[in-house]
Amino acid sequence: MACHNQAYLTKYDMVSDVKPGGTFLLDCAWKPEELDAHLPSKVKKYIANNNVNFYIIDATDIAAKRIGNVKVKNTVLQSAFFALAKILPAAEAVEYMKKMAYKSYIKKGQAMVDLNYAAIDAGADAFIKVEVPEAWKTCADDAPKAPATGTRPALVKAVNELLEPISSMAGDSLPVSAFADNPDGTFQQGAAAYEKRGVAVNVPLWHAENCVQCNTCSFVCPHAAIRPAAMTAEEAAAAPEGTPFAARPVLKTNYKFTMTVSALDCMGCTLCVKACPVTKKALENAEKTVAAEHPEYDAKTAAKEAAKLAAPKIALEMVPQAKGLAQQGAFDYAVAHVAEKPELVGNTIKGSQFKQPLLEFSGSCAGCAETSYARLVTQLFGERMYISNATGCSSIWGGAAPATPYTVNKESGHGPAWCNSLFEDNAEHGLGMYLGQKVLREKLIGYVRELNEMVGEGELKTACENYLSTLDDGKANEAATKALVAAMEASTCEKCAALREKILAEKEYLSKKSIWIFGGDGWAYDIGFGGLDHVLASGEDVNVFVFDTEVYSNTGGQASKASNLGQVAQFAAAGKAIGKKNLAEIAMSYGYVYVAQVAMGADMNQLLKALTEAEAYHGPSLIIGYAPCEMHGVKGGMQNCQLEMKKAVDAGYWQMFRYNPTLETGKLTVDSKAPSADYIGFIKSENRYARLAQTNPERAEALFEKAKENAAAKYQRLEKMSELYK
């Protein structure tokens, strides 16, 4: 048996299925002499008492440093596994693995095949035999895991009674009675915060002395694992020892600034480091210096030397998890004890990140674009959000009960109400959620109007009038609702007691809600399009966000109507022969639908404008977000997800714009500039297109040229439409 992540040793029973005298391979960063300090006692005891042949290997280090690509780690481990299992003679096993590597990866180019060949050769003998100490047989038992605690009793109960056993693969042992609190499938939000999976090999380390406090790193983080904190002098004094603070306070305040990192929740995607402007500038300057002083260096050596030269000036760097864990205390403290500073919160890159994210620590892929978008939406509107989520990637990372990643604001206790619906009816389901609360709210508004007529001058009268004057302003109405509820609860008016009681009985429906319908392109462009069209045409005040990965990501990479011309996917193995459906222009044709196309990594400010304008619009809105995906085969992996968005926009592959029906003139704003990069060069950098160029170059050339023409025509059409609306 093999364990490919050392974090699993404390999460799951990884060794009891190994037969006495069997073999166990552990992929870890520990040396043999460090194992005694790191392995759980139950693992050590089992290995020692059952004469298990114990081997270790650092496949991550081998893949990253010896091979040059961390993504071939599994191939290294596969080779080691076959060498130890002795299912086949060693030479024969290597031969078979190389044949399969060629078959699997030649469509991605010979370079990828060669990487896997090198990984197979490296893994065949890279493992180390561990001499198991006799003392392991009688080592002290592990301390029992402390039960979860917290300020939300219902959540804590769910974590201890459901999340813990299910997460440790003991869910089948739970009796039906364990779900007595969940007869309708409703789960407490915020359970994912208790998982603390610790699966990242490397995590970001913050250097306070170089940070410019822009919060861009937090803005792009898919898992909300890096967050700024602004602390009062009292909060800073109570912070864990060693908590780093920037030399300068938060602009125009006396708050002390720190960037907190949860090494146990981070997925190690590197997006924060790639997005950091300080780190980027330091590396660029170092690369220029190295290139000028050492033109003889090859690319690998030059990059290594540039990283060394830039190190004293960077604000974020990736370090082994063990080193990054020193930041965990500060993160946990800030999450639990540092109050939100309302005066810092705003609809800017920096300001939005001082608001607690209400989507955190999901199970999405490292570097996922979808969760970066969704997390930001919750920071802007989360405390009054209803979400109807189509089945797909976003329903998997969004509702993997009992590990629920949507959560509540620690101060208000409010957060997104989330529900999953099917591919074919998600838009209708979201509309139904909106209409249901609309009916209840309109009834309550009628009661408040009656109450306003009934009471004389005073606090309750003022509260009623403020509430009624802000009915269509989500943010203002939220504050007015709180004041109204407080005034009703404090009122001693006897003649209005019955009316106050009726309103307070359903007070959760008083404030204006922000209704969102989430889903991927498979839902919006294909299976659920009829319903989506119906909902947009209804004119009702709902917001739709489409995570456009241009492929059915969750079901294995099938082509959708969002897949582009020339793209290779399942059911389009020879490259998609027809162009992408123009969902945005279809929606714009109604004239009364707010429509935007966005790309976070290309223009964060444009994304914020689109989100705030769409939510403020009293009608249907559609926002389509470009979402690079693992299925795309982005060069360098998903650590380049945000950079890939910018490349897509620069090449004219993706267009950014906003159509705002509320404007008298200039309804359509084209936010992306005319293409300035090579379109075909861009698409060939992704495996979903490069595969076709590899297997059928003539067809690829024809389809790519046509796709380039289509993209140019689309941009020109947007420009002409923009002129027409002036």
Tokens describing residue 141: 């038992």
The answer to whether residues 534 and 428 touch, using CB atoms and an 8 Å cutoff, is yes
Q: Same fold for the domain at 2-138 and the one at 197-276+315-355?
A: no
Q: What is the model's pLDDT at position 172?
A: 92
Q: Which CATH class is domain 197-276+315-355?
A: alpha beta
The answer to whether residues 6 and 30 touch, using CB atoms and an 8 Å cutoff, is yes
Grouping H, G, I as helix, E, B as strand and the rest as coil, residue 657 is strand
Give 380-433 pLDDT, tens digit per residue: 999 999 999 999 999 999 998 889 999 999 999 999 999 999 888 999 999 999
- Cα–Cα dist 172/162, whole Å: 11
CA dihedral 628, 632, 636, 639 (to 10 degrees): 30
Query: What does pTM read for this prediction?
Result: 0.94
Tokens describing residue 138: 């009688």
- Cα–Cα dist 550/525, whole Å: 10
DSSP 365: P
- Cα–Cα dist 655/658, whole Å: 10
Residues in CB range of 101: below 8 A, 6 or more apart:
75, 113, 116, 117, 120
- Domain covering 550-724: architecture: 3-Layer(aba) Sandwich (3.40)
Q: What is the model's pLDDT at position 358?
A: 98
Can the peptide bond before residue 402 be classed as cis, meaning omega within 30 degrees of 0? Answer: yes
Q: Which stretches of the chain score pLDDT less than 70?
A: none
Residues in CB range of 240: below 8 A, 6 or more apart:
329, 330, 333
Helix (H), strand (E) at residue 606? helix 604-616
Cα angle: 416, vertex 417, 421; to 5 degrees: 120
Give 66-96 pLDDT, tens digit per residue: 998 888 999 999 999 999 999 889 899 999 9
The answer to whether residues 363 and 400 touch, using CB atoms and an 8 Å cutoff, is yes
- Is the torsion defined by CA of 322, 217, 335, 410 positive or negative? negative
Quickly list H helices, 518-582: 521, 529-537
Q: What is the model's pLDDT at position 456?
A: 87
Q: How many CA atoms lie within 13 A of 713 on its CB side?
A: 9
Which residue ranges make up each domain of the chain? Answer: 2-138, 197-276+315-355, 427-509, 550-724
The answer to whether residues 622 and 593 touch, using CB atoms and an 8 Å cutoff, is yes
User: How far from 514 is each of 417, 617, 621, 664, CA to CA, in Å?
Assistant: 10, 11, 12, 25
Helix (H), strand (E) at residue 596? strand 594-598
Number of H helices, E strands in the chain: 31, 16
Residues in CB range of 715: below 8 A, 6 or more apart:
652, 655, 670, 672, 674, 675
The domain defined by 2-138 carries CATH number 3.30.1600.10: no
Q: What is the model's pLDDT at position 340?
A: 97
Strands (E), 130-267: 202-206, 226-231, 256-261
Backbone φ and ψ of 53, nearest 5° = -75, 115
Helix (H), strand (E) at residue 100? helix 90-105
